[in-house]
Amino acid sequence: MAPADINVDVLVIGAGPTGLGAAKRLNQIDGPSWMIIDCNETPGGLASTDVTPEGFLYDVGGHVIFSHYKYFDDCIDEALPKAEDWYTHQRISYVRIKNQWVPYPLQNNVSMLPQEDKLRCVDGMIDAAIAARTATTKPADFDEWIVRMMGEGLADIFMRPYNFKVWAVPTTKMQCQWLGERVAAPDVKTCVRNVILNKSAGNWGPNATFRFPARDGTGGIWIAVANTLPKEKTLFGKQGEVSKVDADGHKVTLKGGKTISYKKLITTVAVDQLVEHMEDQELITLSKGLFYSSTHVIGVGIRGERPERIGDKCWLYFPEDDCPFYRATIFSNYSPNNQPEKSVKLATQSIADGSKPKSTEPQEGPYWSIMLEISESSMKPVDQANLMRDSIQGLINTDMIKPDDEIVSTYHRRFDHGYPTPSLEREGVLKELLPKLQAKDIYSRGRFGSWRYEVGNQDHSFMLGVEAADNIVNGAVELTLNYPDFVNGRQNTERRLVEGSQVFRNKATDKADAAGAAKVIDIEANKAGITNGTKELPTRDRAASKTSSSSHARKSSKSVK
């Protein structure tokens, strides 16, 4: 076989959060040689931000950070360290239903619904509570889970229509193990009390806040994280596009013809696309069992002061069919830098009702903006050609904008892989596919790399990369991949960007180097999950204890084979 152009121990494909997590960890460990590549010039993947010609910013839908991991916090704090790098916001979120705004979560605010809907919801919740006392089996699918948790009333009014709009798949075709912490079950007594007393529970709990980058949108975080990596180990842009993965030869071919050989591959490419690059018929057939939906992101920039009725709302849910979108984010509320300054003169492109503006002469702002998300799948097609028009009409229908509002900028982009569907078939496929890849030294990780939505947010994705690197280096159990409920149910504080053991190890390694010994890590010994002579621990508790100890006691005296 011809020698490769580049040789590394660990190759990371993709510079979205997962790939950057892997690269950060490999850089911190400073053991095996590594490189990260991406076909995009700008890192960030699905967590990137676009800018319209008029100067409005849009993320790939509403991206809010709810970190479960200290290590993730460390890395983004290192990248954007100053207080002025961030804005902190109160989570203010509503559901648009029956022509009114009901604070989210809806199940806690049933008292605000019209009389007959209140009755339906309370009726259903009581039925569900009674049924729960005698139920002996687990719900078979997401739909059954909804009915058992919330009852038929809330299922019909909100959960079924809303979830179909989000997932583009009926709730009966989805499993429910993924839910874990995500959906709050209503407290029947509180709900009934609020209905009788005509009170609402309000929005979230106290201190429900989130932070958002002051500049460059969510994508700004990942550009900044990528900037903390050594440039010579990154290859971004057209020249970083993978066209072929030769699993047996441990070699990747890039579009320009260059080849990179690796011992271990961490890939964050959607796994169904990865297996196509591998030209592995068995795995291609297997991956066909996975389902995903596409996401359309629509942005609308409007001239004028932000209206009172919008106020400081962050994101809003739309279960009804008076608009194509399931969620709207008031993106201009997240940072004043998400839209042009007031003094910037922009022409009116159209009036919201579709009529022509009286003048196309550029005029000053102020400006505000809305970002919308619309799902698409074979089960929920989208009229793409008219989507902008339908969305703007939907904004009028839901009282988000007025028919005479001046639209100064629009944005529409379709992301083919948007949501990895927790379908009924998903686990069966993943349990076969991921180990088969790993047996070939391929770690397929990330939102679409490992296809688990419940650990598919930015913090999870980043840690999937970090943990894959740790597994390669020292065999540590990948908790996020294997125990989603566990990591989602606790604060994961064991790993830190600067660790006591790291400081200590660097000193020890320096001494070893001075004595002429080679640096670090036996990748092969970890191939079968064997570290320090012990096999991977199967149970959750033992897995947790192993991770914390392994991250403090890395091997440091063997050479890379």
Ligand X SMILES: Cc1cc2nc3c(=O)[nH]c(=O)nc-3n(C[C@H](O)[C@H](O)[C@H](O)COP(=O)(O)OP(=O)(O)OC[C@H]3O[C@@H](n4cnc5c(N)ncnc54)[C@H](O)[C@@H]3O)c2cc1C
**Which residues of this protein are in contact with ligand X, per CB under 6 A?**
13-19, 37-40, 45-47, 60-65, 240-242, 268-269, 295, 373, 415, 418, 446-447, 449, 456-459, 461
Residue by residue, DSSP assigns 159-197 as: IHHHHHHHHSS-GGGB-STT-TTSSPPP-HHHHHHHHHH
Minimum distance between the CB of residue 39 and ligand X, rounded to whole angstroms?
4
Minimum distance between the CB of residue 378 and ligand X, rounded to whole angstroms?
18
Residue 32 corresponds to which amino acid? Answer: P
Q: Cα–Cα distance between 192 and 42 in angstroms, integer?
A: 51
Nearest to 203 by CA among 113, 64, 104: 104
* 298, 391 Cβ separation under 8 angstroms: yes
Would you say 18 or 531 has its CB closer to ligand X? 18
- Give the contacts of 336 (CB within 8 A, at least 6 positions apart): none
Q: What is the DSSP letter of 157?
A: I
Q: Cα–Cα distance between 428 and 176 in angstroms, integer?
A: 14
Would you say 40 or 90 has its CB closer to ligand X? 40
Minimum distance between the CB of residue 287 and ligand X, rounded to whole angstroms?
15
Q: Cα–Cα distance between 133 and 135 in angstroms, integer?
A: 6
Would you say 160 or 277 has its CB closer to ligand X? 277
Nearest to 176 by CA among 148, 131, 145: 145
| CA distances from residue 116 to 108, 166, 192, 516 in whole angstroms, order as listed | 17, 26, 14, 80
Minimum distance between the CB of residue 456 and ligand X, rounded to whole angstroms?
5
Nearest to 336 by CA among 365, 316, 299, 362: 365
Q: What is the DSSP letter of 241?
A: -
Minimum distance between the CB of residue 239 and ligand X, rounded to whole angstroms?
10
Minimum distance between the CB of residue 251 and ligand X, rounded to whole angstroms?
14
Would you say 414 or 519 has its CB closer to ligand X? 414
Minimum distance between the CB of residue 46 and ligand X, rounded to whole angstroms?
3
Rounded to a whole number of angstroms, the distance between the first and last alpha carbons of the chain is 19
Angle formed by the axes of helices 458-474 and 70-79, nearest 10°: 110
Would you say 17 or 153 has its CB closer to ligand X? 17
Minimum distance between the CB of residue 155 and ligand X, rounded to whole angstroms?
24
Minimum distance between the CB of residue 141 and ligand X, rounded to whole angstroms?
23
Per DSSP, the three-state class of 525 is helix
* 300, 395 Cβ separation under 8 angstroms: yes
* 52, 76 Cβ separation under 8 angstroms: no
Q: Cβ of 167: how many Cβ atoms within 10 Å?
A: 26
Nearest to 480 by CA among 66, 69, 25: 69
* 467, 492 Cβ separation under 8 angstroms: no
Would you say 329 or 550 has its CB closer to ligand X? 329
| CA distances from residue 336 to 15, 49, 285, 339 in whole angstroms, order as listed | 27, 15, 48, 6
* 466, 288 Cβ separation under 8 angstroms: no
Would you say 295 or 348 has its CB closer to ligand X? 295
Minimum distance between the CB of residue 194 and ligand X, rounded to whole angstroms?
28
Would you say 244 or 527 has its CB closer to ligand X? 244
**Phi, then psi, of 251 in degrees rounded to 5:** -140, 140
Minimum distance between the CB of residue 208 and ligand X, rounded to whole angstroms?
14
- Return left, alpha or beta for 402; rule: phi > 0 is left, psi -120 to 50 is alpha, else beta: beta
∠ CA 387-393-398, nearest 5°, is: 120
Minimum distance between the CB of residue 197 and ligand X, rounded to whole angstroms?
34
Would you say 16 or 124 has its CB closer to ligand X? 16
Residue by residue, DSSP assigns 324-349 as: S-SEEE-GGGT-GGGS--TT--B---
Q: Cα–Cα distance between 108 and 102 in angstroms, integer?
A: 10
Would you say 13 or 521 has its CB closer to ligand X? 13
Minimum distance between the CB of residue 417 and ligand X, rounded to whole angstroms?
7
Q: What is the DSSP letter of 531?
A: B
Would you say 457 or 526 has its CB closer to ligand X? 457
Minimum distance between the CB of residue 530 and ligand X, rounded to whole angstroms?
27
Would you say 195 or 371 has its CB closer to ligand X? 371
Would you say 184 or 503 has its CB closer to ligand X? 184
Would you say 373 or 478 has its CB closer to ligand X? 373
